[in-house]
Amino acid sequence: MNNRLLEVKNLQVSFNTYAGTAQAVRGVDFHLNRGENLAIVGESGCGKTVTSKAIMGLLPSPQTIIGKENSYINLEGQNLLELDDDKMAEIRGRDISMIFQDPMTSLNPTMKIGEQISESVFLHNNISKEEARKVALNMLELVRIPNAKLRMNQYPFEFSGGMRQRAMIAIALACNPKILIADEPTTALDVTIQAQIMDLISDLQKELNMGVILVTHDLGVVASVSHRIQVMYAGQIVERGTVDEIFYNPKHPYTFALLKSVPKLSSNNKETLYSLTGTPPDLINPPKGCPFAARCEFGMKICRVEEPKPMSFGDTQEASCWLHDSRADITGVPRELISRGETYGK
Amino acid sequence: MESKEVLIEVKNLKKYFKVGRKQVLKAVDNVSFNIYKGETLGLVGESGCGKTTCGKTIMGLYDATDGEVIYEGENIHSFNTQEKREFTKKAQIIFQDPYSSLNPRMTVGDIIGEGIDIHHIYKGANRKKERQEKIFELLDTVGLNKEHTSRFPHEFSGGQRQRIGIARALAINPNFIVCDEPISALDVSIQAQVVNLLIELQRERGLTYLFIAHDLSMIKHISDRVGVMYLGGLVEFTTSDELYRNPLHPYTQALLSAIPVPDPEEERVKKRIPIDGEIPSPINPPPGCKFASRCSLAIDKCKEKMPEFKEISHEHFVACHLVK
């Protein structure tokens, strides 16, 4: 059986704005396997949310331009970019579902929770409203909401933040989708609730054998749940690899910086944190060469002239950086960043 | 230890809000601690635990329901308008949301200079020039340019706005700053920049911080001592190293174990102490220990009697019946 669920090739998304055309996603390739948890990590504005909304077909149509030449989003052999709105509506919710960062603004405040869950079940399956409600009740129990019967008839304002996110997950999973896209599902929540929600997503993924795309800016969150990570910067994927490769053997200076800028519980008090200077580039006029060059400590001349090609390290890891070219001057670059092939343990 | 000078003493501070008819929300309930000169005191807790209210009451932005905040020997809640104005010269606040805390219709120069104008810091003929120079100097301190003076807040990114907020707080040379979640709205890479700036400023100017956050790893990094709050009260209070090495309160232990560690190996072996449910409503909280309803170790006594906030070992305070 083919294990590949989703394949994205050369995805390009730009927006028409008053200032010009902003190239939010500039040629992104990736795939997702059945039962796999893939994390997309990056700063705000790097295009991670736009990528996931493009897969869902949720981008506003007149001002968005999605490049169709040589690009596709294949869901089990079907190219989502070529589907019309009606076909896409059938797929959305049934095959691919999405949960959003802010559960309060993404739930309908005037509808009871039970109705919001059964709505999509009713639309996608040929069943009665009564049966749809039964499915909804089961879903609330699945996401571990206590007193599910009572909660069915309550409105979102009666739910706390963590409960709302659980309700969102229930809506997303109601039609048994093959893929769940979680866009910063825990950013608005407290640490304790964050841990609960992440555990829930990862348990449900195993139970239902779904593919999960987890979009986040926090590397800490993905360490325990994801299988593979891809790091995005300025609309491109700059590095990808398995969780262990990314955390213990990052090859791109941006990944390296992201990992180092988080304080560790074991680090010394008030030690100066490693920090990236500057801000991400303007995507209306993206710079020539490597987009990270202006903020990179190890930048070379070539970085500002020519874009680096992805280079592979082993079967699963890939990074786009000139430092790994054999002609690169690597004096002063930390050994862990340029060591090839060898994985150093902890 | 005795050489430490107390800058602010918080004594049995209470802040209640009236909600609806005859209902009282106890946002801060009987909190006492000292803030030493030149230190960073961290306050952590989940949202709704009263940490921000506590910070704002210490600043005098809220009137206390009961209790005292003593700054250099005087209770700030008994100040008259004149004295309050004097106090705000010494104490400033940096807010959480860099988007809503800057007036969108004022230029950056005016935002930063507002405190200077209010307090008439510069007198005499040269005051306009001096004010301008001070603003340039402040922008430089926080890593922005002179050219930014005439711009408006919407032209800046989140991290830059937070820097403007810091420059505004520094404008009148305060010695105490309340940092109310100054980094939670920022990206990880920008957080490090702002935290480094705050630490550097503290070293240069001997500032005292009350640092409020829900991010335990950042609190551990920046603070000398840490207080953990739950539902309006302190449950544990000690030095930052001791808190992370030897957390005694079950809530602190659970909070610490919930921090996601950016290390897959460690995450795989880590045992998480589960903490079920969510923070209960602070309106009519149950008698006894407030954490009892979520605590896995709770005994009958916890539900009946409020544990005392007592010193277990040197500088380590805990409120729990189970800790002896």
Cross-strand bridge partners of residue A72: A9
What residues of chain B, 204 to 223, have a C-beta less than 8 Å from chain A? 214-218, 220-223
Q: What mean pLDDT is reported for chain A?
A: 88
CB atoms within 10 A of CB A44: 14
> According to the CATH classification, is domain B6-318 in 3.40.190.10?
no
* Residue B66 confidence (pLDDT): 92
A263 in reach of chain B (CB within 8 A): yes
Using DSSP, state whether B174 is helix, strand or coil.
Answer: coil
Alpha-carbon gap: A198 to the closest alpha carbon of chain B (Å) = 10
Q: Read off the pLDDT band of A341 (50, 70, 90).
A: very low
Q: Which of A219, A220, A273 sits opposite B195 (nearest CB)?
A: A273
Alpha-carbon gap: B101 to the closest alpha carbon of chain A (Å) = 19
Using DSSP, state whether A254 is helix, strand or coil.
Answer: helix
Per-residue pLDDT of chain B (324 residues; tens, 9 = 90+): 446 889 999 999 999 998 888 888 889 999 999 999 999 999 998 888 889 999 999 999 999 999 999 998 889 999 998 999 999 999 999 998 888 899 999 999 999 999 999 998 888 888 899 999 999 999 988 888 888 899 999 988 888 899 999 999 999 999 999 999 888 877 777 888 889 999 999 999 999 999 999 888 889 899 999 999 999 999 999 999 999 889 999 999 998 888 888 888 888 888 888 777 777 778 877 788 888 888 888 888 888 888 989 898 888 999 999 887
Query: Is the ipTM of this structure higher than 0.85?
Result: no
Say whether A162 and B272 touch across the interface (CB within 8 A).
no
Q: Which residues of B touch A272 (CB under 8 A)?
A: 196, 199-200
Whole-angstrom distance between the N-terminal and C-terminal Cα of chain B? 24
A272 in reach of chain B (CB within 8 A): yes
Q: Which residues of A touch B216 (CB under 8 A)?
A: 191
pLDDT, average across residues A233-257: 92
Architecture of the CATH domain A4-226: 3-Layer(aba) Sandwich (3.40)
DSSP tag of B300: H
Q: Which residues of B touch A248 (CB under 8 A)?
A: 264
Q: Which residues of B touch A297 (CB under 8 A)?
A: none
Q: Which residues of B touch A344 (CB under 8 A)?
A: none
Q: For B92-127, write each residue's pLDDT tens digit.
A: 999 988 888 999 999 999 999 999 999 988 888 888
What residues of chain A, 223 to 242, have a C-beta less than 8 Å from chain B? 223-224
B155 in reach of chain A (CB within 8 A): no
Q: Which residues of A touch B278 (CB under 8 A)?
A: 160-163, 193
Question: Given a cut of 90, is residue A178 above it in pLDDT?
Answer: yes
Q: Are B76 and B87 in contact (CB under 8 A)?
A: yes
* Residue A291 confidence (pLDDT): 92
How many alpha carbons fall within 13 Å on the CB side of residue A182? 31
The residue of chain A with its CA nearest to that of B156 is A279
Q: How far apart are CA A242 and CA B198, in angstroms?
A: 35
B319 in reach of chain A (CB within 8 A): no
Domain boundaries defined on chain A = 4-226, 250-338
Residue in B189, B190, B245, B259 to test binding to A, most A beta-carbons within 10 Å: B189
Say whether B259 and A191 touch across the interface (CB within 8 A).
yes
Q: For A8-34, write each residue's pLDDT tens digit.
A: 999 999 999 888 899 999 999 999 999
pLDDT, average across residues A107-136: 92
Q: Which of B47, B220, B275 sits opposite A265 (nearest CB)?
A: B220
Say whether B46 and A191 touch across the interface (CB within 8 A).
yes
How many alpha carbons fall within 13 Å on the CB side of residue A77? 2
Say whether A275 and B159 touch across the interface (CB within 8 A).
no
What residues of chain B, 167 to 196, have a C-beta less than 8 Å from chain A? 187-193, 195-196
- pTM for this entry: 0.85
Q: Are A55 and A80 in contact (CB under 8 A)?
A: yes
Residue in A18, A256, A270 to test binding to B, most B beta-carbons within 10 Å: A270
Q: How far apart are CA A169 and CA A153, in angstroms?
A: 17
Q: Are B168 and B114 in contact (CB under 8 A)?
A: yes
* Residue A102 confidence (pLDDT): 80
* Residue A339 confidence (pLDDT): 63
The residue of chain A with its CA nearest to that of B200 is A272
Which residues, at least 6 apart from B168, have a Cβ–Cβ distance to it below 8 Å? B92, B111, B112, B114, B115
Q: How far apart are CA B141 and CA B166, in angstroms?
A: 10
pLDDT, average across residues A242-252: 91
Q: Which residues of A touch B97 (CB under 8 A)?
A: none
Q: How far apart are CA B205 and CA B173, in angstroms?
A: 9
